[in-house]
Amino acid sequence: MKLLALSDLHVGHPRNREVLGELTPRPDDWLILGGDLGETEEHLRWVLDTLGPRFQQLVWVPGNHELYVHPDDTASPRGEERYLRLVELCRGAGVITPEDPYVTWTGEGEPHLIAPLFLLYDYSFRPAHVAEQDAVAWAMESGLLCSDEMLLDPRPYPSRTAWCHARVDATAARLAAAPPLPKVLINHFPLREDLVRLRWIPRFSIWCGTRKTHDWHLRFGAGVVVTGHLHIPRTDWVDGVRFEEVSFGYPRQRPPTLRADDCLREILPGPPARRGA
Ligand SMILES: [Fe+2]
Ligand SMILES: [Fe+2]
């Protein structure tokens, strides 16, 4: 039994549904879904209905795209209410969410506590000379404006930053009280600014995480940190801890012949630990 991961499935793109539909069933393994599965409840249901039967267990965290509601849509719940609705949809399909108790991994590799998180961002991944209130204008100077600014409503919180900080505080308390096992920390957004390497759109960093989680891999004893959002799949080692960016991404970001099976990342048992890297 292996623990695998994939994020940013973006199944609003028909080509992504086509490629993901060919994923080989692995009924003994667990699959982490790292957020940005799509923009609608129908997209989320498609992923759960398509991939759920192919794995023993799914684990889900939301991305920013799941939380999008079009300004003209006056019927759909927004903000935290929308998030909790998606949590219920996942739970109804037997999927583990950030609102559920952390479970202990007893498959291949060392026992780990699997901790799905929802932490959002607070615009703190910016240079020191840019004030928080100027962060979006600073990004816009380079032609960047994340759709979140129009589509990700933080209500009942006054801002996405306030929502992020509430989530960070509550999650830190939960992790501090968790059993002393190595953790698999799963969050859509990167936990460290130094792992946000956006060569072509560097100022997009403000929508990518919070400095409050910079030391969480050490503070909460992570064995592995799993994230997405960047659409730049890679493996990094920081302080001997493995950081896995597991994005599937948009069709144009992958070689056309790449199979979904090739994009699955093994989280546990994973490669041998690399100490001091
Ligand atoms: Fe994404
Ligand atoms: Fe994202």
Q: Are 123 and 211 in contact (CB under 8 A)?
A: no
Give the Å distance between the CA of 36 and the centre of ligand 2.
5
Distance 180 CA to ligand 1 centre (A): 32
- The crossing angle, in degrees rounded to 10, of helices 79-92 and 41-51 is 20
Ligand 2 centre to CA of 64 (Å) is 5
* DSSP codes joined into one string, 65-120: GGG---TT--SS--HHHHHHHHHHHHHHTT-B-TTSPPEEE-SSSS-EEEEE----
Cα of 104 vs centre of ligand 1, distance in Å, is 28
2 CA → ligand 2 middle, Å: 25
Is residue 185 scored above 90 in pLDDT? yes
Across the chain, what does the average pLDDT equal? 97
C-alpha 12 – ligand 2 centre gap (Å): 14
pLDDT category, 24, cuts 50, 70, 90?
very high
171 CA → ligand 1 middle, Å: 23
Q: How much is the pLDDT for 143?
A: 97
Ligand 2 centroid from CA 173, angstroms: 25
State the distance from the centre of ligand 1 to the C-alpha of 156, rounded, in angstroms.
24
Ligand 1 is an ion; its neighbours by CB within 5 Å are 8, 36
- Rounded Cα distance between 99 and 84, Å, is 9
Report CA(25)–ligand 2 centroid distance (Å): 26
Starting from the CA of residue 196, give the closest ligand. 2
Nearest to 37 by CA among 249, 184, 257: 249
Q: Nearest ligand, CA of residue 207? A: 2
CA dihedral 90, 97, 240, 210 (to 10 degrees): 100
Q: Which ligand is nearest to the CA of 232?
A: 1
Residue 277: per-residue pLDDT: 46
Q: What percent of the chain lies above the pLDDT cut of 70?
A: 99
**For the chain, what's the residue count?**
277
Give residue 228 CA to ligand 2 midpoint distance, Å: 7
Distance CA 64, CA 228 (A): 11
Give the pair of three-digit tokens for residue 271: 């490669």
User: What separation in Å is there between the alpha carbon of 72 and the centre of ligand 2?
Assistant: 22
Chain-centroid distance of CA 116 in Å reads: 9
Give residue 252 CA to ligand 2 midpoint distance, Å. Answer: 16
Residue type at 175 in one-letter notation: L
**Tell me, what's the pLDDT at 116?**
99
- Does residue 140 surpass a pLDDT of 70? yes
Give the ligand at the shortest distance from the Cα of 8. 1
Q: How far is the CA of 35 from the centre of ligand 2 (A)?
A: 7
Q: CB under 8 Å to 137, separation ≥6 — which residues?
A: none
Tokens of 197: 């390497």
Closest CA to 227 of 218, 212, 217: 217
What would the pLDDT profile of 100-132 be if each residue is shown by its tens digit? Answer: 999 999 999 999 999 999 999 999 999 999 999
Q: Which domains does the chain have, with CATH numbers?
A: 3-268 (3.60.21.10)
Backbone conformation region of residue 76, classed left if phi is above 0, alpha if psi is from -120 to 50, else beta = beta
